[in-house]
């Protein structure tokens, strides 16, 4: 858990090399109408074309907006850019607004949830087809759950010094891939702490689980379901979990095993998905394939090793060809107490955590660890704030709070190094602020949300609508620099032109396009 003395000294001595870190955010939010119902309107054309816009797009549903910042050199710059995207978006929403929670509400029937539409090009039609397949496999409601993904990379100056430290015999790309996979393994081993700290979905709207069995409790109004010590129901069995994938053991021990395991899942039929039919009774294609995964992104995880892809290039091939470029941290619920869904303290702590996970000893996963990780996740998301909570490791059970406090103590070196790199104190301050959430669980986002829902007749929907209205007012009052406005308007216009060019350039049908997409084999 602690860095070795030599590693700690090296990190503090070479802290300056961290200054080139890059971070970017991807934030999902459902569009809703003035009454709180899921918006049935198309993606606003003034925002650009969802297929080709690099910063404003849609996720599963046409109503599930996704805002993406570039990779930027500071947390302040990344959060400001996310604010600017929100300000721009709200200028195009008319009387609509953004739902501020990870868990949705008032969705209507499953079939009524509109799939994201990306135009007539083969790449656009493939994206919609994939989403239709997800809906067939898991239901559309589950796909409307939203979160924040935090993308993080370390600079080449850091990797060059790291290579000198290790006398690394290969190139920087191979070192990056090895160490990023070390980060991925340690992140998963200790993700129970993040689920506790970043969980902001202890309750759901009763309509989300209508007609389903569940262990949740109804509050006084009867319109809200919750668990008293829950942290992130988004990450529980009622949220975005894939039971088929529970048996899919994708190796995180190294890059080659990871990409080959994903590739095998993409090419291996699954009887349940085959039974659904790749083609419907009316002759329409309704999923990309009947295999375990349609594409790599269907494999869900709390963290992903990532690489920027070229248009039409599969993510696994990009990773194999050019190595890991950054990691995507995916376990952050939307924070309803922050207009943008995440605050600066959360961002600073995530970076401390990630750096520490990168440099800790990281043995390869053993077979039994997969079951341990799943059970720890279940315990924390359902009862993370319960006094005396115990979790599992390879030696048996341990006390959640004691182990978490020890981890905070160990992370002090990483926080100090980042503060030294950026000549500030906010990383150390974030560490202390989040440590208080262990000592005083009522400070957790999940606890603060429940205090809004449980007194008298409070409801998840009413609380969310109040936050949504306040957020809309906040962003409609925010100025947008003329240069920023012009840049976003230009991106919107160019994205429409790029989509039109793609549609005009297609020379083959969708079936041939899909065959070509999956044809390049892994080496």
> Tens digit of pLDDT for each residue in 468-496?
999 999 999 999 999 999 999 999 999 99
* pLDDT value, residue 333: 98
Domain hosting residue 437, numbered range: 5-518
**298 assigned to some structural domain:** yes
In this predicted model, what pLDDT tens digit does every residue of 79-135 receive, in sequence order?
999 999 999 999 999 999 999 999 998 898 999 999 999 999 999 999 999 999 999
Encode 165-176: b = buried (16+ Cβ within 10 Å), e = exposed.
Answer: eeebeeeeeebb
* pLDDT value, residue 189: 97
Please count the helices (runs of H) and the strands (runs of E) in the chain.
17, 12
Q: Is the pLDDT of residue 317 over 60?
A: yes
* pLDDT value, residue 241: 57
211 in the Ramachandran plot: left (φ > 0), alpha (ψ -120 to 50) or beta?
A: left
18-32, 143-157, 201-215, 276-290: least confident range: 201-215
* pLDDT value, residue 108: 87
Residue 163 binned pLDDT confidence (cut-offs 50, 70, 90): very high
What's 283's domain CATH number? Answer: 3.30.590.20
**523 assigned to some structural domain:** no
What is the rounded average pLDDT of the residues 264-284?
Answer: 95
How many domains does the chain divide into? 1
**215 assigned to some structural domain:** yes
**88 assigned to some structural domain:** yes
* pLDDT value, residue 238: 84
199 in the Ramachandran plot: left (φ > 0), alpha (ψ -120 to 50) or beta?
A: beta
* pLDDT value, residue 39: 97
Mean residue pLDDT across the chain: 95
Cα gap 227→260, rounded to integer Å: 39
Query: In this structure, are residues 86 and 473 in contact, taking their beta carbons and an 8 Å threshold?
Result: no
**40 assigned to some structural domain:** yes
Q: Is the pLDDT of residue 248 over 90?
A: no
* pLDDT value, residue 376: 97
Query: In this structure, are residues 293 and 299 in contact, taking their beta carbons and an 8 Å threshold?
Result: yes
* pLDDT value, residue 279: 97
**480 assigned to some structural domain:** yes
Q: Which pTM does this prediction carry? A: 0.97
């Amino acid at each position: 858990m602690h860095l070795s003395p030599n590693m700690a000294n090296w990190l503090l001595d070479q802290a300056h090399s961290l200054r080139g870190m890059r971070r970017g955010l991807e934030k999902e939010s459902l569009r809703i109408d003035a009454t709180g119902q899921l918006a049935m309107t198309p993606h606003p054309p003034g925002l650009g074309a969802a297929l080709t816009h690099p910063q404003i797009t849609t996720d599963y549903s046409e109503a599930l907006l996704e805002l993406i910042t570039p990779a930027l050199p500071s947390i302040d710059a990344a959060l400001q850019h996310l604010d600017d995207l929100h300000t721009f978006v709200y200028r195009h929403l008319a009387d609509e607004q953004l739902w501020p929670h990870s868990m949705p509400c008032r969705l209507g029937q499953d079939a009524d949830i509109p799939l994201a539409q990306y135009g007539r090009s083969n790449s656009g039609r493939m994206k919609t087809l994939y989403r239709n397949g997800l809906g067939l496999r898991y239901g559309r409601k589950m796909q409307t759950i939203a979160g924040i993904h935090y993308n993080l990379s370390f600079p080449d100056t850091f990797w060059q010094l790291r290579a000198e430290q290790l006398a690394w015999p290969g190139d920087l790309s191979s070192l990056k891939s090895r160490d990023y996979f070390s980060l991925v393994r340690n992140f998963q081993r200790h993700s129970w702490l993040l689920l506790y700290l970043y969980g902001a979905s202890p309750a759901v709207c009763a309509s989300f689980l209508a007609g389903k069995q569940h262990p949740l409790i109804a509050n006084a109004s009867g319109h809200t379901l919750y668990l008293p010590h829950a942290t992130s129901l988004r990450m529980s069995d009622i949220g975005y979990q894939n039971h088929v994938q529970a048996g899919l053991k994708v190796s995180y021990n190294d890059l080659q095993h990871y990409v080959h395991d994903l590739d095998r899942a993409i090419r291996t039929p699954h009887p349940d998905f085959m039974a659904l039919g790749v083609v419907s009774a009316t002759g329409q294609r309704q999923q990309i394939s009947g295999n375990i995964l349609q594409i790599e992104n269907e494999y869900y995880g709390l963290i992903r090793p990532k690489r920027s892809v070229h248009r039409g290039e599969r993510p696994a091939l990009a990773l194999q060809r050019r190595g890991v470029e950054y990691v995507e941290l995916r376990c952050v619920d939307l924070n309803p107490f922050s207009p943008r869904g995440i605050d600066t303290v959360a961002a600073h702590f995530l970076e401390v955590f990630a750096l520490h996970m990168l440099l800790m000893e990281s043995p390869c996963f053993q077979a039994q660890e997969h079951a341990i990780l799943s059970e720890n996740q279940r315990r924390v998301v359902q009862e993370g704030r319960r006094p005396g909570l115990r979790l599992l490791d390879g030696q048996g059970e341990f006390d959640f709070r004691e182990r978490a406090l020890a981890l905070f103590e160990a992370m002090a070196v990483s926080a100090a190094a980042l503060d030294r790199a950026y000549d500030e104190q906010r990383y150390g301050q974030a560490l202390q602020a989040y440590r208080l959430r262990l000592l005083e669980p009522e400070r957790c986002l999940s606890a603060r949300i429940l205090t809004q829902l449980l007194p008298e007749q409070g409801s998840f929907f009413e609380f969310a609508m109040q936050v949504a209205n306040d957020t809309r007012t906040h962003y409609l009052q925010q100025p947008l620099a003329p240069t920023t406005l012009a840049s976003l308007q230009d991106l919107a216009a160019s994205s429409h032109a790029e989509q039109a060019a793609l549609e005009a350039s297609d020379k083959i049908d969708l079936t041939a396009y899909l065959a070509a997409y999956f044809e390049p084999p892994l080496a």
